[in-house]
C-alpha cells in the first residue's frame, strides 16, 4: 500500500466517523418532514441565507427589525451567509423554504469531510509517523465539540471558523516549512487570512501567529521565507482583505470598528502585510530592531480602543456575551454547571491545556525549526483562548 493510499483511507475513515457523529442530532433537526435550525444563531443565519436564496438578493447587512426602532448593522459579515446561500442555490430552484432547508441544514455535516482533509494535511505537514497521524485525525473526528460545530441543522458560522483556522495552520506550515513552492504557499496563506474576515470579523486574529512567528524568527536570526514569498504573502493578504471589505456596507460607509467588517480589518491587514514585507528587506541589527518596535507601537495606536473591545469580546468579558455559554470558560462551567457543560463537549482533554501550553513554550524556546515555532505559537495562543 502506497503512503498516498494510506492517507486517503485515513481521510475516508475519519470522514465516516465525523459525519456519522454530526448526523446524530437528526432527530432534533428533522421533524414532521421538515428541517429546523439547531439554535437561535442558526435560525438568524437561516433567515439571511434563505432570504437570499428565495429572493435572489444579496444577504442582509442592516436589519431594521432588530434593536427596534433604530435597527442595527449586523455583526456577522456578508461572506459566510453568502457562500451558504450560493451552495444552497446550486441545488435549486426550490418550491419553498422547507425544500431549501433540506440542503442548507445538511451543509455542516458535509463540510466535516473538508475538516478531516485539513486534519490529514496538517498531520502530513507535521511529519507525524502514520500511527500518530491516525491518532490525531481520528481523535479530532471523535471530539464532541467538533461534532457540535458540524451537526446537522447547526448552520451557525462556527464550523466555518474552525475550517479557516485549520486552513491557516495548514497554509502556515506549508509557508514556513519552505521545502517547495513557497511563492504559492505565501499566496495561499494570504488568501486564507484575507477571506477569514468575511466569515467572522474576529477572524483577523488568525494573522497574529503569522506575525509573531515572523518577528521571532527574524529576531533570532533564523532564515525567513524568501523575499518573493514574503512579498507574495503581503500582497495576497492585503488584496484579498480589500476585496472582502469592498462588499461590506460598513466599510463602504467609512466605519472603523472591530464589531463590523470595516476599515479596522483592512488596517490590521495593512500592518501585517507591511511588517512582513519589511522583514524581507531590513537586516537584523539593534538599530533596526528599535525602529521596527517604534513603528509597530505607532501603528497599533489607532487600534487601541477597538483592541480593548476586541479583548473583552475574545475573553468573554464583554457585557453583552457574558451569559453566552460558548463565551464562558469551560473550567468555570465545570465547577458551576457540572461536567455536562464542559468535559461533555471538550472531553477530558481540556485538563491537558496547561501542560500542553508549557510543552509548546519549551519547544518554542528550544527549536530553531520555523514550522515548529509557528505551530507552537499558534497552539499557545489557542490554548490560552480556551
Which tens digits make up the pLDDT trace of 253-303? 999 988 899 999 999 999 999 999 998 888 888 888 888 889 888 888 888
**Residue 345: its pLDDT value, please?**
67
Task: Determine contact, residues 197/78, Cβ cutoff 8 Å.
Answer: no
**Residue 135: its pLDDT value, please?**
95
- The model's pLDDT over 333-354, given as tens digits with 9 standing for 90+, comes to 666 665 566 666 667 777 778 8
**Residue 314: its pLDDT value, please?**
56
**Residue 341: its pLDDT value, please?**
61
**Residue 136: its pLDDT value, please?**
95
Q: List the chain residues with pLDDT less than 50.
A: none
**Helix, strand or coil, per DSSP, at residue 266:** helix
Phi, psi of 73 (to 5 degrees): -70, 140
pTM for the predicted model, two decimal places: 0.90
State the Cα–Cα distance between residues 171 and 266, nearest whole angstrom.
Answer: 21
Task: Determine contact, residues 172/374, Cβ cutoff 8 Å.
Answer: yes
Q: Of 266, 238, 239, 268, give the one whose Cα is nearest residue 252.
A: 266
Task: Determine contact, residues 37/45, Cβ cutoff 8 Å.
Answer: yes
**Residue 236: its pLDDT value, please?**
97
Amino acid at each position: 500500500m502506497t503512503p498516498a493510499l494510506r492517507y486517503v483511507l485515513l481521510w475516508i475513515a475519519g470522514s465516516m466517523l465525523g459525519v456519522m457523529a454530526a448526523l446524530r442530532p437528526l432527530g432534533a433537526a428533522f421533524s414532521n418532514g421538515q428541517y429546523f435550525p439547531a439554535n437561535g444563531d442558526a435560525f438568524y443565519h437561516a433567515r439571511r441565507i434563505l432570504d437570499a436564496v428565495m429572493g435572489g438578493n444579496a444577504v442582509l447587512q442592516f436589519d431594521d427589525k432588530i434593536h427596534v426602532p433604530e435597527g442595527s448593522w449586523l455583526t456577522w459579515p456578508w461572506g459566510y451567509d453568502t457562500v451558504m446561500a450560493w451552495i444552497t442555490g446550486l441545488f435549486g430552484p426550490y418550491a419553498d423554504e422547507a425544500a431549501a432547508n433540506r440542503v442548507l441544514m445538511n451543509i455542516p455535516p458535509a463540510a466535516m469531510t473538508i475538516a478531516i482533509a485539513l486534519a490529514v494535511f496538517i498531520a502530513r505537514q507535521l511529519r507525524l509517523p502514520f500511527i500518530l497521524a491516525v491518532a490525531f485525525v481520528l481523535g479530532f473526528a471523535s471530539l464532541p465539540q467538533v461534532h457540535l460545530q458540524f451537526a446537522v441543522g447547526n448552520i451557525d458560522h462556527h464550523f466555518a471558523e474552525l475550517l479557516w483556522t485549520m486552513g491557516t495552520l495548514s497554509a502556515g506550515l506549508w509557508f514556513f516549512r519552505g521545502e517547495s513552492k513557497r511563492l504559492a504557499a505565501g499566496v495561499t496563506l494570504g488568501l486564507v487570512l484575507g477571506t477569514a474576515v468575511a466569515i467572522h470579523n474576529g477572524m483577523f486574529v488568525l494573522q497574529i501567529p503569522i506575525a509573531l512567528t515572523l518577528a521571532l524568527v527574524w529576531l533570532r536570526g533564523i532564515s525567513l521565507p524568501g523575499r518573493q514569498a514574503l512579498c507574495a504573502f503581503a500582497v495576497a493578504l492585503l488584496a484579498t482583505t480589500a476585496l472582502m471589505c469592498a462588499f461590506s456596507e460598513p466599510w463602504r460607509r467609512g466605519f472603523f470598528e472591530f464589531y463590523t467588517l470595516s476599515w479596522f480589518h483592512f488596517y490590521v491587514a495593512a500592518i501585517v502585510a507591511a511588517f512582513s514585507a519589511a522583514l524581507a528587506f531590513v537586516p537584523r541589527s539593534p538599530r533596526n530592531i528599535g525602529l521596527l518596535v517604534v513603528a509597530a507601537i505607532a501603528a497599533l495606536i489607532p487600534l487601541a480602543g477597538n483592541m480593548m473591545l476586541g479583548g473583552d469580546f475574545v475573553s468573554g468579558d464583554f457585557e453583552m456575551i457574558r451569559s453566552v455559554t460558548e463565551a464562558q470558560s469551560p473550567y468555570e462551567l465545570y465547577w458551576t454547571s457540572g461536567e455536562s457543560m464542559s468535559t461533555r463537549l471538550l472531553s477530558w482533554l481540556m485538563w491537558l491545556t496547561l501542560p500542553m501550553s508549557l510543552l509548546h513554550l519549551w519547544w518554542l524556546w528550544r527549536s530553531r525549526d520555523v514550522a515548529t515555532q509557528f505551530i507552537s505559537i499558534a497552539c499557545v495562543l489557542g490554548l490560552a483562548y480556551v
